[in-house]
Amino acid sequence: MAKLHIFVSADKFHSAFALNDYLQPSYNAAGEVVASKFMKEIGLLGFEPMAIEASFKEKVESVRKLIAGFPFEEAWSGLIEESLTANIAIAVYEPNIVSSPENAGIQYLGCYNYDDRVRENS
Dist. CA 90–CA 47, nearest whole Å: 15
Which helix or strand (DSSP H or E) is residue 30 part of? Answer: none
H runs (alpha helix) in 15-87: 16-23, 37-42, 63-66, 73-76
Q: Which residues pair with 97 in a beta bridge?
A: 45
DSSP letters, 106-117, are SEEEEEEEE-TT
pLDDT at 69: 94
pLDDT at 118: 64
Q: Residue 105 contacts by C-beta under 8 Å, 6 or more apart in sequence?
A: 12, 22, 37, 38, 41
The answer to whether the peptide bond before residue 95 is cis (omega within 30 degrees of 0) is yes
pLDDT at 117: 78
Dist. CA 82–CA 109, nearest whole Å: 13
| pLDDT digits (tens), the chain, 122 positions | 899 999 999 989 999 999 999 999 999 999 999 999 999 999 999 889 899 999 999 999 999 999 999 999 998 999 999 999 999 999 999 999 999 999 999 999 999 998 887 655 54
Q: Is residue 8 within 8 Å of residue 101, measured between CB atoms?
A: no
Report domain extents, the chain. 2-114
pLDDT at 122: 45
pLDDT at 109: 97
